[in-house]
Amino acid sequence: MFKTAAAKIAHNSTIPALAGNSDMRHFQDLINAEKVVLVSCVLYMHHICIVNIFIARLYRIQRLGVDITKAADSLRAWGAGEGDDLVVSD
């Protein structure tokens, strides 16, 4: 039971180490440092994912622009072959 309580206290950064127990304090500092590293890694990976999503969306928007231009050119060529009422002037 003491091990469970000690582990809970060590993993809780809001509760100071018991009665100046330096071993517990060092262990708590280590756990807190690990938490900081993990949070930093998660935030960095989240940032990388957001940047990759932005780049992918930007590429899709550029690709959409190219596809719309091709469709407009094809429509213009088709309209020119259909008669004077469908010809688009530039």
- Is the confidence at residue 82, as pLDDT, over 90? no
Residue-wise pLDDT tens digits, 9-32: 666 655 554 555 677 788 888 888
Please state which of the ranges 1-5, 54-58, 62-66 shows the lowest mean pLDDT. Answer: 1-5
pTM, entire model: 0.47
Task: Show the tokens assigned to 38.
Answer: 């993990």
Q: What is the mean pLDDT of residues 37-61?
A: 91
Residue whose structure tokens are 């690990």: 34
**Domain definitions of the chain by residue range:** 2-83
Residue whose structure tokens are 């091990």: 3
- Is the confidence at residue 87, as pLDDT, over 80? no
